[in-house]
Structure 1
Amino acid sequence: MCCHVLHISSQDYLGATSSDITRHFRNADPDLHPFERAREYQRALKAVKLEKIFAKPFVKALEGHTDSVKCMAIARRMVGSSPDWWNQTGSCDGELRLWDMSAASAMPGMLTNMSLLLRQYLRCGASVSKAHEGFVRGVTLSPDGRKAFSCGDDKAAKMWSIKPKACVISEEAEAVYNMAYIPGAIDHHWQKPMFVTVGDTVDVWDYNRSTPLSSFEWGCERVITGRFNPAEPCLLASTAVDRSIGLYDLRGNSAIRKVLLKLRSNGICWNPMRPMSFTVANEDCSLYSFDMRKLSAAMYRHWDHVMAVLDVDYAPNGQEFVSASYDNTVRLWNCSSQRSKEVYHGKRMQRVLCCHFTPDGRFVLSGSEDTNVRVWKAKADQKLGVSTPREKRAEAYRETLKQKFARMPEIARIKRHRHVPKMIKSIGNKRRIMREAKQRKETNRKKHSKPGTVVHEPMKKRPIIKELE
């Protein structure tokens, strides 16, 4: 006779003799713990709350300019083995300033109070009060940081010499490059000794020539900005007032492609790690990321600003970028995300005209109409200074938990929430109501019309680009 009952052998847990220790089975494997996921969820919830509590992104405001900070530039690589770097800014009264940022690049293991050191030693290294007559429209630095270039309303681009160790800029320009138009922006090549100025035409200059090496004109009244590609030395991108984005090839001395957006783009920046991709800052409060191999549609649309976006710059790792807007805010984005991950603003901060990542990717710089250059942390809750190995492991564990439970409703809500000024909140709500009303109207038109008379086109698939051959 067979009985279907549970049978446990006593040999599995009893010893061979009466003097042996009895074996007790305990589940010590955390992967098999019945409440392990619940415990991890509570830790992730605590981690995302701590991130909000310790979020203090502002470091210091660099004072000294007497007019709006129009543009800024940072050397793309360090000089030799020195970790020092500096920031060059130009204002609307024609002044150039060179800021000594060496304290921000000091080795963390050598500092006891990094935040205090940053506030005390970030300073202006040198200045040129009348570098240009009128506005300074653009500034840039050579890749090694030893030469500075600027352009202004006096229809000239100037080359300045920088002494790296002393952080001093020459009082007199080494060379002056005259042109027939007021330049709107300037950018230096990533490897070669040449730079580009844009205005009525797109001109490429060499250090030792008073006339341009190449000049491009493509049926537009004025070009706003131009940037060299970081990987392809002969590729150049620009935006113009006719709402176009143009690509130029220096080898064939010709234009390649041109596309039109609904509104004009005020800034453009190439991704340093994905040199086929670039992002433009547009007047419609959005940023658009493109792949130059397929310009018929944007890869991503980044929308959180409520006013025109004026400038954009990528981090050295190519995973995130920063944008400056007319709505008095600075926003940080993941390169593949539609919504911003951080928004920085201040009570006294006015319209932000320019922004830049530091070479180490740990800080963000912004220049605004209130004459200040502000230094922000790229990660709002990041600790400045020495971190013990235990703190580093704990931080890595918290980041892993936040990524694991990122789609949980409560954690996603806390992580997404940002405190913004009342003006931005009200404008954002109005734009959301208008967007929902437009979608509702189209849905009703399709619902109450004859079949086939109204074709519904989703918002994400609507064309924003018109490509020109």
Structure 2
Amino acid sequence: MKVKVLSRNPDDYVRETKFDIQRVPRNYDPSLHPFEVCREYTRALNATKLDRVFAKPFLASLDGHRDGVNCMAKHTSSLSLLLSGSCDGEVKLWNLSQRECVRTLQAHEGFVRGMVVRFCGTSFFTVGDDKTIKQWKMETPGYGEAEEPLNTILGKTVFTGLDHHQTDGVFATCGQQVDIWDEQRSSPIRSFTWGVDSFSSVRFNPVETQLLASCSSDRSIVLYDMREAAPLKKVIMTMRSNTLSWNPMEAYFFTCCNEDYNLYTYDMRHLHQPVTVHLDHVSAVLDVDYSPTGKEFVSASFDKSIRIFPKDSGRSREVYHTKRMQHVICIKWSADNRYILSGSDEMNIRLWKATASEKLGVLTPREREATNYRKKLTEKYKDFPQIRRIAQHRHLPKTLFNQSKELKLMKEARRKKERNLRKHSKPGSVPVVSEKDKHVVAVVK
């Protein structure tokens, strides 16, 4: 005889909680859910509000320097190691997971102008006002060992910038000229000049590793190829650029930060006009660094704030500031794309979250699903007026708010003057110049 038995497995209808909550089966037929858009809009609105409520980007302050932090360097293979150099010649190595200084050394007399970690991560280089290039071991010396550099090169002039090749034992310095050095030699293997008094920064391209670019004092950005005997070309702007950063995912694009409060993203193949002009800062922009994904970059400014820009947007998506933070001199985006490090005048290094409302720690699968669902909802409804207003609103310090308002009035006055001049002049005598064309003076090859 055949007997049929009812069998119910609790895993099929009970959720994974300490309470026996019943699972609710759902029919996804659109005809059964006529008000789905209304519900999704309400959820997107609530998700946007919660995103602003939980936006707490500041994580920690690394205090220990006795002078302003002038430069920083990321380790090539370790996420928890950071190097910083200050204006008194001191270099510190920080353990970010423990948030403490693990090593201090007096590297130079005067400012530490630049520092970079060798591609293999076993040593790092520093340059300073004492006209020297020094190479240091990454490991802390043992008990009784003196803190001595592995190698010291004495230059003829002050070095103002430094960068290392991605895969070879070659590094570049800048000062009165751009020099390419081999680690095994005490004199440069190649030097580039183009009628420029001095250079402020030099950067290797992380994708096309034979290319590099520098910012110079004559308001120009110069491009070089190590395989050539002379520089490739340069673009001259209306004001001087301080530093630049290459996009790590797109070989031809770089972003420079300028004294005219803006940042400019260029395609090195078409330098006659920037691809994007990034506004929002109200004072000179001093440093810029790309995220590892190449989709965003972060900028440090003299206006005591840092801003995060999408690479193809003219406006920042985020602005970070604190009451005690002064002029931000250097900025770095961590290699895991989750954190931002800023060094400022008042001797502090600050650690920030790249996404202000991101929850730190391990997420359960349900938390991750809920986070992704809310993120997709806010992306879907981001252009609705109320959601856009909440998402874009930021509280700014009074000085920053007043400066941005004053800058807006000045720009509007200039536009109004141009319109009136064009209106009362002979047709075609006052051409319309776009914002992208205003800032480029010439391209020289």
Please give the TM-score of this superposition, normalised by the length of structure 2: 0.90
Which residue of the other structure, out of 373, 381, 393, is the alignment partner of 2:369? 393
Question: Cα RMSD (Å) of the superposition?
Answer: 1.9
How many Å separate the matches in 2 of 1:315 and 1:231?
Answer: 14
Q: Is the counterpart of residue 297 in structure 1 residue 292 in structure 2?
A: no
Q: How does 1:57-456 map to 2 (within 5 A)?
A: 57-78=57-78, 84-101=79-96, 103=97, 121-128=98-105, 130-163=106-139, 171-456=147-432
Query: 1:465 offset after TM fit, Å?
Result: 4.0
Counterparts of 1:31 and 1:339, CA distance in 2: 41
Q: In structure 1, what is the Cα distance between the partners aligned to 2:146 and 2:418?
A: 62
1:88 partner letter: L
Return the letter of the residue paired with 1:77: S
Residue type at the aligned position of 1:337: S
Report the counterpart of residue 45 of structure 2 in structure 1. 45
2:15 corresponds in structure 1 to: none
- Distance (Å, rounded) in 2 between the aligned partners of 1:250 and 1:438: 43
CA contact (8 A) 1:354 1:367 kept: yes
The residue type equivalent to 1:127 in the other structure is: T
Cα distance in 1 for residues equivalent to 2:245 and 2:371:
32
CA distance in 2, matches of 1:322, 1:196: 24
8 Å CA contact 2:86–2:111 kept in 1: the answer is yes
Structure 2 counterpart SS, 1:196: strand
- Judged with a 3 Å threshold, the aligned counterparts in structure 2 of structure 1 residues 31 and 390 are, in CA distance, closer, same or farther, namely farther
Deviations 1:138-171 (A, max 9, x none): 11101232111100010001000012899xx982
1:462 Cα shift?
Answer: 3.5
Amino acid at match of 1:234: Q
Structure 1 unaligned spans of 5+: 1-25, 79-83, 104-120
Report the Cα distance in structure 2 between the residues aligned to 1:45 and 1:68, rounded to whole angstroms: 42
CA 1:55–1:31 in 2, change beyond 3 Å: closer, same or farther?
Answer: farther
The structural deviation recorded for 1:322 is 0.7
**1: CA distance between counterparts of 2:242 and 2:86?**
18
Q: Tell me which residue corresponds to 1:55.
A: 55
The structure with the largest alpha-carbon Rg is 1
CA offset digits 1:125-150 (Å, max 9, x no partner): 1010x210111001110123211110
| CA distance, structure 2, for counterparts of residue 254 and residue 455 of structure 1 | 36
In structure 2, relative to structure 1, the CA distance for the partners of 1:43 and 1:158 (3 Å cut) is same
The amino acid across from 2:215 in the alignment is T
Letter in 2 for 1:42: T
Q: 2-side partners of 1:163 and 1:375: how far apart?
A: 24
Q: Which digits, 9 at most, give the CA deviation of each residue in 1:365-393, with x for residues without a partner?
A: 00000100000001000001011111111
Letter in 1 for 2:81: W
Following superposition, the deviation at residue 29 of structure 1 comes to: 1.9
Alpha carbons of structure 1 residues 43 and 165: separation in structure 2 relative to 1, 3 Å: farther
The amino acid of 1:310's aligned partner reads: L
Q: Judging changes above 3 Å, is the alpha-carbon distance between structure 1 residues 28 and 419 closer, same or farther for their aligned structure 2 residues? A: same
User: CA–CA distance in 2 between the matches of 1:437 and 1:311?
Assistant: 29
SS at match of 2:138: strand
Partner SS for 1:400: helix
Q: How far apart, CA to CA, are the structure 2 residues paired with 1:164 and 1:392? A: 40
Distance 1:444-1:43 versus aligned 2 partners, 3 A rule: same
Q: Deviations over 1:411-437 (max 9, x none)?
A: 111111111111111110011011111
